Structure 1
């Protein structure tokens, strides 16, 4: 094996190894340490409002956790894109190795032909035939010469095409690598923002006394209950009577089986989940993969009217599609709410509904 061939194969293997390290779960981007103090600047927790106005604290926490959810979606999107790009780079690396091996084989064949001509005194086959005093040998050899010429021409053409393929693969790999690096930076920025917002929220809560924390939890429940009541009072359940599809039933079964498991941003099971990690895994379990993030689920999946939703459909929340839950029937959803919470059942109207999507429409 020549030095050039070994070098390209070594480089291709290095690409595969580097991509594997770059995209390995938890290698560079682990979930935030709950005990870590918030970074300076935008990650610092806001001051407690005068007289510890718990309703104001609740709104502050809601804002911080919402910003964390938006950043989590950005992280998940970058992670999903990185996985696709790294897979493409690996495939290109394999093609480079295969193409280089093919090119080396073609060069060996061309070299063998050149050596054979050298052993024949440097004269081409045509000259040897012309010098032959045997007419029959001349006639028989003429056909072989034509075949050899066509084979040589085909060999040279194949070598040129293989070389062009190698150049194209290398160019594509370089482009994908640049995209992967850009995605790595986006992923790192999203990670930093998530960690800052969660740390700020946890620090804000840590300043409260035990009684205040209990009262704050009551205020959060009351706000969710009021929103659900308003939603139900609209008579919406009178119109919602759809039955789940077979795949929808499987998705609901999976989602409800995760009740009580902790929320963890960027997680998609089996022990912890974030909101879109739960819904995407539920539908993957049902045999119908969906996009990883709530925003992409909203963009890519078929929309249905709220009054037409059925168990298994995904309910998208907030104007920026930063949260998603699964409808399970009777006006209820199952979802992974936020850091510090577990997968739970809640009212479908307890948060501002952006719309509903149906994976198996």
Structure 2
């Protein structure tokens, strides 16, 4: 929560919803011991735990929704490819049927004709008759090929029709699943809003203070442990991805969003690497499952830090123990301590790329200095 927003809530008592939406998400391991219950309600630590749980459930549901959306895109593309192939096959089938019909008519017309052998015996020029026989044989082979194409086109059309129906069924199933997952996200966010709306300005301030202290403590322990080594220079692509992500600072979080106006956590990281020229999977779980793992002591700017045991949140390492992330509803894209959430691990989209020589790190105290502002590609 920004100090200005917090002061606005505390002094002017504006809506509790607006104030509480800016609470940071902290590692579960760093949550302070529960305090004695406040008169007439839960302790600050209990409120914080509830908020963290609800936000995490919402993000987990959002990641499931995003995963289904990606599968749905694949099924739509597959259905389009199959339908295009089926249309071409049906056109070829119609042409083959026309050719087969012409062959049948020719065969019927030749039934009453003189056989090729009799023509050869009666011919005045046997060589000419033999040449005709060669032509007749060639026509017979072409007829056999035409019949073969007809049979092959019929089999292919039948197979493609079945596959197209199966793709459509899968698409309808995924569409229904996506709707249910979208509704689940909305229910989780409604739960968050109800809890926030029930809190007083003093409770919101206390929750924000506790969360900020927990993050600071977790960050201090991580940095003191030596788990993060001295910063390494990024690759050229990693530098581009980071600069794109930094250029999105201040834009709002919106689940399912991939920019340019708003982002969710994996929407930001996937778009940043897409703009850098290295496409990566869309969701945090896919990024964790498919990209190369790197230890924390080998992190370099542009690498992705994945959070929670089920990989439901992701951020981009910016150096100096900081990450760029789209945190959660109500909070904009921001720079945060790497230990803001419980770390699962890190992945690198370009493991074979060489680091940049003579790299000049971004000034994280002012990532958009007037003389070094990168253009907004969005």
TM over 0.5: yes
Q: TM range, normalised to the smaller chain?
A: 0.7 to 0.9
Match of 2:311 among 301, 321, 339: 321
Cα distance in 2, alignment partners of residues 49 and 163 from structure 1: 78
**Equivalent runs, 1:61-210 vs 2, <5 Å:** 61-118=51-108, 120=109, 122-123=111-112, 127=115, 130=118, 133-136=122-125, 137-210=128-201
Q: Once the two structures are superposed, what CA deviation does each residue of 1:185-229 show, in whole Å capped at 9, x if it has no partner? A: 332222121111111101110112233323332332222222212
- Whether 1:215 aligns to 2:203 is no
Structure 1 stretches of 5 or more lacking a match?
1-33, 35-47
Cα distance in 2, alignment partners of residues 230 and 168 from structure 1: 61
Number of the residue aligned with 2:347: 357
Cα distance in 2, alignment partners of residues 310 and 266 from structure 1: 27
SS for the counterpart of 1:192 is helix
Match of 1:347 among 337, 343, 354: 337
Maintained 8 Å contact 2:252/2:331: yes
Number of the residue aligned with 2:23: none
Cα distance in 1, alignment partners of residues 81 and 39 from structure 2: 56
SS for the counterpart of 2:155 is helix
Cα deviation for residue 121 of structure 1 reads 5.8
Cα deviation for residue 49 of structure 1 reads 9.4
Cα distance in 2, alignment partners of residues 352 and 130 from structure 1: 93
Number of the residue aligned with 2:239: 249
TM-score, length-scaled by structure 2: 0.78
TM-score, length-scaled by structure 1: 0.81
Maintained 8 Å contact 2:116/2:133: no
**Equivalent runs, 1:27-42 vs 2, <5 Å:** none
Q: Which has the higher relative contact order, 1 or 2, with Cα contacts under 8 A spaced 6 or more apart?
A: 2
Number of the residue aligned with 2:302: 312
Cα deviation for residue 269 of structure 1 reads 0.6
Number of the residue aligned with 1:296: 286
Structure 2 stretches of 5 or more lacking a match?
1-16, 18-37, 352-378
Cα deviation for residue 116 of structure 1 reads 3.4
Cα distance in 2, alignment partners of residues 190 and 117 from structure 1: 63
**Matched residues, number:** 312
Identify which range, 255-264 or 210-219, moves more after superposition: 210-219
Maintained 8 Å contact 1:49/1:57: no
Number of the residue aligned with 1:231: 222
Cα deviation for residue 141 of structure 1 reads 1.7
